[in-house]
Amino acid sequence: MHRYLLTPLLASVLLAAASPPATPASPAEIVARAPAAAWRAVDPDNLLVMDLANGRHVAMELAPGFAPVHVANIKALVRAHWFDGSAVVRVQDNYVVQWAATGESRPLPAGVVAHPHAEYDRPAAGLAVRPLGYRDAYAPQVGHAEGWPVASDGRRTWLTHCYGMLGVGRDMAPDTGNGAELYTVIGQAPRHLDRNVALVGRIVDGIEGLTALPRGTGDLGFYTDPKMDLTISRVQLASDMPIADRPRYQVMRSESPAFAAYVAARANRHDAFFVHPAGAIDLCNAPVPTRRAP
Amino acid sequence: MHRYLLTPLLASVLLAAASPPATPASPAEIVARAPAAAWRAVDPDNLLVMDLANGRHVAMELAPGFAPVHVANIKALVRAHWFDGSAVVRVQDNYVVQWAATGESRPLPAGVVAHPHAEYDRPAAGLAVRPLGYRDAYAPQVGHAEGWPVASDGRRTWLTHCYGMLGVGRDMAPDTGNGAELYTVIGQAPRHLDRNVALVGRIVDGIEGLTALPRGTGDLGFYTDPKMDLTISRVQLASDMPIADRPRYQVMRSESPAFAAYVAARANRHDAFFVHPAGAIDLCNAPVPTRRAP
């Protein structure tokens, strides 16, 4: 009893067999049935693989279309082994996990721009956005573009701080950070950070290796005891790994009919569990499906 | 360097000393300076203290004004030691932690209503709501009432699934759960669950004891290995504890001027870090301040 409670995707799968044929497809069913054309491969040149000393692996997709200089910096840092031997140093509950703050006094590797300009948004022109279709507290328009959650005012478009998004730690303005320190969101989307920090990507696999870490007890959730720091053994770009060793991921195309059906189904749940479908959804509750390449 | 990154409350404290006097008060400063009249004590008869076998303690405030039968059930279960020796059995990343699913076949203690009616909302009449003042994807009106995050359609009002809210696990409709199994939200607010589950309160202290637990690898995040279950040593009502041992908490009154100032400051951040104050906030990013009684 009570094994269901509530379930974003999986219960719909469990229930599918028992559902009468007339039941609209669940989000999970829509994802499972989406044709190959609904998926795009994550470019191995934009895929980071981070190995943690506890044996966990975290895969991240970078978003050069939104923060090209910061993303180029991160790739240069990775190739210079900047992150290897660094550590997760901050875990603030319902907020962020942050890593690689150690070694701040090391000189930056060649090719890294020490002070990139503020890539907090980009021109709206040239980027097709699929509108979410529901209200947003923070922006006049929200939706998805090229598989990314975005907001826009019609003139500028920006990535949004949804769960698992990847950002660049920085000091006070006008420093924008250089990519040598990164964080990911592990709680309620801190959308007030949108356009205040350079977002550079998202975690596509293994976020549990970061979200389940002990919370730091120092100010802002920093670990006060260096023994709590979790060492990052290695970060690699997938394109630098032997082909046979590269993990391969896919992201659902946000312009695909399957994605539209997925969002609609998440906003209007017809699973047996739901007595009151919401009839709406907020941006960060419509995560773009990702998967291992079949 | 880069110690700040982003910071909901604490950095404003850190920065306060360096800020010019003209800077508007930060959310943390507003909370710190709020007069005693801005706070209400958590009634010890609505305060649960859960002791975990790993030495952590979780304090929860119940909300009888929204789900009276479910809350009465939970108190009866606690007094019958229902939860003592039960366990946390489910941790689903970016979703919920759930406990006390074990022992489902035990008979319910006397006084527990086996099948409460669906206390998913309540009449709007008789409950003053302070409007948040910003758009919400899910409901025509959102705000706070008696220190709780709520949504309303003008006729009915209901608690919302913000981070740390406490809900009653249930089976498929029309079962509403009886309070013998509880969960809390540990990710992006799953607002689609609003009005589908009985929310009965929130965690006021110690949520880190639940959010940092290993994620379950079974369907819906259930632990597949019973060795992963985290034993709940004991759950008590504070009013049943010796007075000297009771923890005492306070919740900011959501109808107080201090709370209005706090929400406004969170929506319009003037900390030195922010180059683009959001000018808005969503309901679950305006958590009602709680604290240990001074």
Q: In this model, does residue A13 exceed pLDDT 50?
A: no
By CA distance, what is A222's nearest residue in B?
A: B3
pLDDT on residue A18: 47
Please give the full DSSP string across B42-76, using - where no structure is assigned.
Answer: PPGGGEEEEEETTS-EEEEEE-TTT-HHHHHHHHH
Nearest to A95 among B2, B8, B104 (CB): B8
Identify all chain B residues contacting A163, using CB atoms and an 8 Å cutoff.
94, 187-188
What stretches of B176-259 adopt beta strand conformation (E)?
Answer: 182-185, 199-205, 230-237, 249-252
Could you tell me where in chain B the CATH 2.40.100.10 domains are found? Answer: 40-251
User: Over the stretch A133-175, which tens digit does the pLDDT of each residue have?
Assistant: 999 999 999 999 999 999 999 999 999 999 999 999 998 766 7
pLDDT on residue A5: 52
- Helices and strands in chain A: count of H runs, count of E runs: 5, 16
Query: Is residue B141 within 8 Å of residue B151, measured between CB atoms?
Result: yes
By CA distance, what is A274's nearest residue in B?
A: B196
End-to-end CA distance of chain A: give it in Å, rounded: 34
CB contact under 8 A, A220 and B4: yes
Q: In this model, does residue A22 exceed pLDDT 80?
A: no
pLDDT on residue B270: 85
Identify all chain A residues contacting B222, using CB atoms and an 8 Å cutoff.
3
Neighbours of B243 (CB within 10 A): 9
CATH class of A40-250: mainly beta
Q: How close B199 gets to chain A, by Cα (Å)?
A: 12
CB contact under 8 A, B212 and A183: no
pLDDT on residue A16: 40
Nearest to B211 among A93, A134, A171 (CB): A93
User: Over the stretch A45-80, which tens digit does the pLDDT of each residue have?
Assistant: 999 999 999 999 999 999 999 999 999 999 999 999
Classified as helix, coil or strand, A61 is strand
Nearest to B135 among A94, A136, A207 (CB): A136
pLDDT on residue B15: 39
* DSSP designation for A107: P
User: Over the stretch A188-214, which tens digit does the pLDDT of each residue have?
Assistant: 999 999 999 999 999 999 999 999 999
By CA distance, what is A137's nearest residue in B?
A: B135
Q: In this model, does residue A125 exceed pLDDT 90?
A: yes
Identify all chain A residues contacting B82, using CB atoms and an 8 Å cutoff.
none
User: Over the stretch B164-183, which tens digit does the pLDDT of each residue have?
Assistant: 999 999 987 667 899 999 99
% of chain B beyond a pLDDT of 90:
84
pLDDT on residue B14: 38
User: Over the stretch A209-231, which tens digit does the pLDDT of each residue have?
Assistant: 999 999 999 999 999 998 999 99
Nearest to A137 among B196, B219, B281 (CB): B281
Integer Cα distance of B72 and B64 in angstroms:
8
pLDDT on residue A107: 87
By CA distance, what is B279's nearest residue in A?
A: A138
| Length of chain B counted residue by residue | 294
Identify all chain A residues contacting B7, using CB atoms and an 8 Å cutoff.
220
Query: Is residue A248 within 8 Å of residue A42, measured between CB atoms?
Result: yes
Sorted by sequence, the CB contacts under 8 Å of residue B108 that are 6+ apart come out as: B77, B114, B178, B180
pLDDT below 50 — which residues of chain B?
Answer: 1-4, 6-20
Integer Cα distance of B92 and A95 in angstroms:
17
* DSSP designation for B177: -
CB contact under 8 A, B5 and A194: no
Classified as helix, coil or strand, B249 is strand
Q: In this model, does residue A8 exceed pLDDT 90?
A: no
Could you tell me where in chain A the CATH 2.40.100.10 domains are found? Answer: 40-250
Integer Cα distance of B89 and B56 in angstroms:
16
Asked if the bond preceding A294 is cis, omega within 30° of 0, the reply is: no
Nearest to A10 among B104, B188, B220 (CB): B220
Whose CA is closest to A30, among A265, A294, A256? A265
% of chain A beyond a pLDDT of 70:
90
Identify all chain A residues contacting B208, using CB atoms and an 8 Å cutoff.
93, 214-215
Query: What is the CATH topology of the domain spanning B40-251?
Result: Cyclophilin (2.40.100)
CB contact under 8 A, B190 and A96: no
Integer Cα distance of B269 and B287 in angstroms:
15
Rama region for B146: left / alpha / beta (φ>0; ψ in -120 to 50; rest)? left
**Which amino acid, one-letter code, is at A174?**
P
Q: How close A288 gets to chain B, by Cα (Å)?
A: 14
Helices (H), chain A: 10-16, 27-33, 68-79, 208-211, 257-267
| Length of chain A counted residue by residue | 294
Q: How close B11 gets to chain A, by Cα (Å)?
A: 7
Nearest to A135 among B4, B136, B193 (CB): B136
Q: Which residue has the higher pLDDT, A13 or A233?
A: A233
Distances (CA, A) of B204 to A44, B163, B198: 44, 11, 18
pLDDT on residue B176: 82
Rama region for B192: left / alpha / beta (φ>0; ψ in -120 to 50; rest)? alpha
**Which amino acid, one-letter code, is at B53?**
A
Identify all chain A residues contacting B191, using CB atoms and an 8 Å cutoff.
278, 282, 285
Query: Is residue A179 within 8 Å of residue A73, measured between CB atoms?
Result: yes
Residue to mutate among B192, B263, B273, with most A CBs inside 10 A, is B192
Q: In this model, does residue A242 exceed pLDDT 90?
A: yes
Q: How close B91 gets to chain A, by Cα (Å)?
A: 10
Q: Establish whether this prediction's ipTM goes over 0.85.
A: yes
Integer Cα distance of B219 and B234 in angstroms:
27
Query: Is residue A284 within 8 Å of residue A160, measured between CB atoms?
Result: yes
Calculate the average pLDDT of chain A: 91
Nearest to A138 among B187, B208, B280 (CB): B280
Identify all chain A residues contacting B5, using CB atoms and an 8 Å cutoff.
90, 96, 98, 169-170, 181, 183, 197, 220
Tokens of A25: 């497809």
Classified as helix, coil or strand, A209 is helix
% of chain A beyond a pLDDT of 90:
84
Nearest to B275 among A5, A196, A208 (CB): A196
Identify all chain B residues contacting A230, using CB atoms and an 8 Å cutoff.
none
Handedness of CA A223, A225, A230, A231 (dihedral sign): positive
